Amino acid sequence: MNVSALTVLPVGVFLGAAYAAPLVHRWYRRGLSVVVLGAGFAGLGMAVLLAYRVATTGPLHYFLGGWVPPWGIEVIVDRWAALGLLAVTGVGLPVLVYALYDAEHELDAHVVGRYFGLMLVLMAAMLGVIMAADVFNLFVFVEISSLAACGIIAVKGDRTATEASLRYLILGALGSGALLLGVALLFMVTGHLNLRLAGDQIMTAVLEYPKVVYAGLGFAILGMSIKAALFPLHVWLPDAHASAPTPSSAMLSGLVVKVYIFGLWRLFDVMFGEGLMTAVSVRGLLLVLASLGIFGGSILAIGQDDLKRMLAYSTVANIGYVFLGLGLNSERALIGAALHIINHALMKAALFLAAGAIIHATGTRHVRRLAGIGLRMPWTMGSFTIGALAMVGIPPLNGFVSKWYLALGALDAGQPLYVIVILVSSLLSGLYYAPIIISAFFEPPRHGSEARDPHLFMTGPTVLLAAGCVLLGLFPSLLLVLLGRWAG
Amino acid sequence: MIERLAANFHYLAAVALFVIGFHTMLTHANLIKKIMGMNIMDTAIFLLFISSGYVHGGRAPIVDPGLVPGIVRYVNPLPSALILTGIVIAVSITAFALGLIVKLYQFYGTLDADEIAALRSRGL
Amino acid sequence: MQATVVSWLPVVATLLPLVGTGCIYLVEGRSWQWRNGLSVATAAIAFGLVLAMYPAIAAGKVLVMEFPNILPPLGLSFRADPLGFFMAATMSLVWLMVTVYSLAYMEKEHHKKRYYPFLILTLSGSLGVVLTGDMFSLFLFFELMSLTAYVLIIHEQSHEAMKAGYKYLIMTILGSLALFFAIIAVYEISGTLIIGRGIIGWPSPLALGAFVAFLLGFGIKAGMFPLHVWLPDAHPVAPSPASALLSGLMLKTGAYGLIRVIYNVYGISLLQRTNWMQILVWLAAITILLGSSVAILQDDIKRRLAYSSIGQMGYILLGMGLMSERALFGAVFHIFGHALMKSALFLAAGAMIHKTHRRSIADLEGIGYRMPLTLGAFTLSALAMIGIPPLVGFLSKWELSLGALDAGRPWFVVILLASSLMNGVYYFPIIIAGYFSKKSAYADGAQAWSMADETSPVMLVPLVLLAAGTLIFAVLPNSLPYVLAGKSAHFLFHLGGR
């Protein structure tokens, strides 16, 4: 038993807590928060420990049961994965805390225990996707997270949520079908499921069976892109993210879609490799789709009246940024993409949690009926403002830092056009966030409005996430240390 | 050409099943049929995956001490093992989807996706 | 190369108002006296801290302080050279006056709890713009200033204010994105953003793109044609003290940014080899003529002043664009002069509006019978604006004209003269009608001038001081601003940065 075994422990902790949560909730309702918080803090602690080890001593590999690939299953925590672990556990914990208080009024009492079961399964699955070092393992964890994600939408039990969940499930199933098909085809020609070993074989396989390899690659990318909501495969996202209970929205928009990009990046980097990626010019396609997504998401967001739908469309645009970074593929663009995954997770989670508190307090989801909210709910609306400003990319907030690296990466790649894409979409996001902030702070409140900041355990996580936006904006080196050698 | 196709007939079957499933999933408005299409599609992929591991004339991969190793050929066990997991996943997705469909039927009284969309747009 | 000394003064001067904002926010719930006192004290201490840099500046040193660990790999850096010091001193002086004036002006206004913290927060942003040592830090404080100024603009929360504010906000975001592009392009080209002596080596399409983006970003703030569209809406709707700051000081941060871009980022040698500066020069000429001529048509007194500001910003842009030391000298001195004149004018107009609740120039006829000192200060500043000797406005126009001749472009002297004429056309009617018209309501039975309706001393003193400054700083031999402006121009032209 060596220290690498620590890598699989977070998955186990969340999975264990996931089974414990519904039981504990049935027998002793108060115990639920102990289980959820215990798992959350333990996961975060382990993620920090792993990140520290990775930063100091290099990547960790763990072979389940001591079986070395090609027979055994490998788990890997490198810099990229450590970053993902930090993002998932760091953003997941405040969302879980918020959920503990939010679930009481947003959900039926009898589903609360199961809801947390699903949330914790989702956390475990996301960690699994990030650490998986073989394609089949990747596939399994992707499926678990998809199912759990559908579950935490449908748990609300109303018409919109049920329908959105079903649509997400069916499209997700299409995606997983494509992914599995891709995995099968690639396995047929390379003979390996381990990413690294398959990657070693893939260039010879291309010479022998080019069509099979291309088809496999195409299906795998298609499958992951549906789940990661790459434009125009995003159609399921707005309904799903907007109709879910608030903590689920924050989790889905902030983390879940990003985790699939982690998986996709793993495929690009380790399995397909530079040679194949250049040969099939996947990146050019990604750039175009990403730009379309950035514009499309932003423009559609401007047209939304529903606060949560607007945030959901903004996610479509921000997914575009991450894909843009992957498509540009210069060192700084990749750093920018990686930073944006974490930064957007913080911003969007803060925004969704604040939006949830606002909707709860005012009873309206309409963006034009929020006049004067800022004075009645200063903490909530303050966090919302910070999140929104970070989205626009105002320095010194974290959104600026990732846009800075993405833009530099675009110039490095000799594609200054994409700098313009980034800037124009920042302006567009100003157009949909600014009116909300303005009317919240500078218009007189409606009469009889009794809105107030919610309970400390709902306000606290929101403020904490917003503070994270400021902290990572001022000191991006906290993350750049991790990314330092990874991108090179 | 024909010979190659005949030798790989299981791949052809997989492709045919995939197309049938995909077509059913996209064109039928009935939600139950959509789910059936999805299952057919999954089955096609399972077939493809498993048949890729089949070794012609190979035995079931159970090591028998009586047989001389190296001479006896075994079927590759990995795809079968993996597809077991895949089937489990497909079953859970199906179960979950059916649960949601039951719930939608309670809300709208129909299983037709188009009718549901129409009802929704009328605000029902 | 200049001798540099490490000093905390620029940092403290910038961050003190930031801390002050927090303190004001905390105490204002308890007592308004404390809030008012603290606001004035913060502005005064900031002014004192800036002045404390003077000995080092006079000795020819540059004050620097760097924090490379914040926002790496860029880092945050502070720096005070003659120009930075000069700008900071001008700003903190006018800010102090305006803060004192606000105490009386805002007494009956609503939302004072919001006004004072943001007034002081904006001071922090403005000082940060001029006391930073690299384009990124400059950008950071530029954003802080621009966004907080929004709150001052929409203070009244009227329909027009919200509309003007929204326009301002969108233009500001547009400008900041242009700056973002420019800065990133410069960083890509040169790998650094320090305010040095031309950090871009040779012309390239990307460098030109960045130059245009800089013009766009800073030009929006400076009210340069055709990016001025937000200005005539936003400046008049703000409370008068805030208008004074917007027109008197914040416009100058755009000009300051452009000076840094021209002389420190690109460097004169590069710009002399290209003809990129022609863009700026011709836009400046149009800005002058447009601002001055449209001002004539305005009936709202604050709107007229706002358009006048556009014209005056044209002078400054022209001066920095002509690439002669003399013209730059004129531009830098005009930044100072216009800060005094325009804030005095806005404060005087504010005092009149405060008393009469009318903003139309026709309604203000005969106001001189009731508020002789206010109108007197207004008159003095207006004369300076027109360029009557011996006032500050005359000195800067004189230097600008000589600079235009140095640069071999006498036509710009004609433009300057034409604009001065137009200044006369729109200022004299206000003055003459104010003192001599008998038909207005205020002149009823008033045979002699009376001080009875003069505005309160708290408002009167700052505005009279500012107006007097336009005379004193021009006639005083070896007047400090004049010397400093010359030093700044010399420094930019011959020594550059690090």
Tens of pLDDT, residue by residue over A369-378, are 888 888 888 8
In this structure, the number of other CB atoms found within 10 A of the CB of residue A160 comes to 16
CA B80, B86, B88: angle at the middle one, nearest 5? 110
* Four-point Cα dihedral C21, C25, C26, C30, nearest 10: 130
Q: What is the pLDDT of residue A448?
A: 63
CA distance A238 to A249: 10
Choose, out of A134, A156, A170, the residue to mutate when testing the contact with B (most B CBs < 10 Å).
A170
The nearest CA of chain C is from the CA of A423 a distance in Å of 6
Q: What is the pLDDT of residue A348?
A: 94
- Measured between CB atoms, which of A150, A162, A176 is closest to B104? A162
Instruction: Tell me whether residues C139 and A395 touch, CB distance under 8 A.
Output: yes
The nearest CA of chain B is from the CA of A23 a distance in Å of 21
Per-residue pLDDT tens for A73-84? Answer: 888 888 888 889
Through-space distance between the first and last CA atoms of chain A, rounded to whole angstroms: 32
Classify residue C194 by its DSSP letter. B
Q: How many helices (H) and strands (E) in chain A?
A: 21, 2
CA distance C29 to C39: 14
Averaged pLDDT score across all residues of chain A = 88
Cβ of B100 under 8 Å from any chain A Cβ?
A: yes
CA count, 13 A, side-chain hemisphere, C445: 0
The nearest CA of chain A is from the CA of C95 a distance in Å of 25
Q: Which residues of A touch B (CB under 8 A)?
A: 136, 139-140, 143, 147, 150-151, 154, 157, 159, 162-163, 165-166, 169-170, 173-174, 176-177, 180-181, 184-185, 187-188, 193
Q: What is the pLDDT of residue B68?
A: 66
pLDDT band for position A288 (cuts 50, 70, 90): very high
Instruction: Tell me whether residues B96 and A169 touch, CB distance under 8 A.
Output: yes
Phi, psi of B112 (to 5 degrees): -85, 120
CA A231, A235, A241: angle at the middle one, nearest 5? 105
- Nearest C-alpha in B relative to A137: B82
Q: What is the pLDDT of residue A42?
A: 93
The nearest CA of chain C is from the CA of A321 a distance in Å of 16
- Measured between CB atoms, which of C147, C174, C206 is closest to A427? C174
pLDDT band for position A486 (cuts 50, 70, 90): very low
Residue A350 has which token pair?
Answer: 């803060």
Per-residue pLDDT tens for C263-284? Answer: 888 888 888 888 888 888 899 9
Q: Is the pLDDT of residue A473 over 70?
A: yes
* Interface pTM, i.e. ipTM: 0.88
Q: Which of A274, A325, A267 is nearest to A137 (CA)?
A: A267
Q: What is the pLDDT of residue A118?
A: 93
How confident is the model over C2-27, as a mean pLDDT?
A: 86
Instruction: Tell me whether residues B100 and A188 touch, CB distance under 8 A.
Output: no
Interface partners of chain A (CB pairs < 8 Å, 3 or more) are B, C
The nearest CA of chain B is from the CA of A142 a distance in Å of 11
**Contact (CB, 8 A) for A374 and A441:** yes
**Contact (CB, 8 A) for A312 and A371:** no
How confident is the model over A209-230, as a mean pLDDT?
A: 90
Q: What is the pLDDT of residue A1?
A: 42
Per-residue pLDDT tens for B5-47? Answer: 777 788 888 889 999 998 998 888 899 999 999 999 999 989 8
pLDDT band for position A488 (cuts 50, 70, 90): very low
B85: helix, strand or coil: helix
Per-residue pLDDT tens for A154-164? Answer: 998 888 899 89
Q: Who wins on pLDDT, C193 or A315? A: A315
Averaged pLDDT score across all residues of chain C = 86
A396 prior amide bond cis, ω within 30: yes
CA distance A262 to A409: 19
Residue C314 has which token pair?
Answer: 């044209």
CA distance A172 to A166: 9
- Nearest C-alpha in A relative to B107: A159
Q: What is the pLDDT of residue C481?
A: 86
A416: helix, strand or coil: coil
Amino acid at A350: A
> What length does chain B have?
124
**Contact (CB, 8 A) for A256 and A126:** yes
pLDDT band for position A142 (cuts 50, 70, 90): very high
How confident is the model over A130-141, as a mean pLDDT?
A: 89
* Four-point Cα dihedral C411, C412, C413, C414, nearest 10: 60
- Nearest C-alpha in C relative to A484: C73
Q: Who wins on pLDDT, B52 or A196? A: A196
CA distance A335 to A329: 10
Q: Is the pLDDT of residue C2 over 80?
A: no
Per-residue pLDDT tens for C192-207? Answer: 888 877 788 788 888 8
Q: Which of C107, C160, C122 is nearest to C17 (CA)?
A: C122
Instruction: Tell me whether residues A416 and C206 touch, CB distance under 8 A.
Output: yes
CA distance A351 to A311: 8
CA A341, A344, A348: angle at the middle one, nearest 5? 140
Residue A173 has which token pair?
Answer: 């199933």
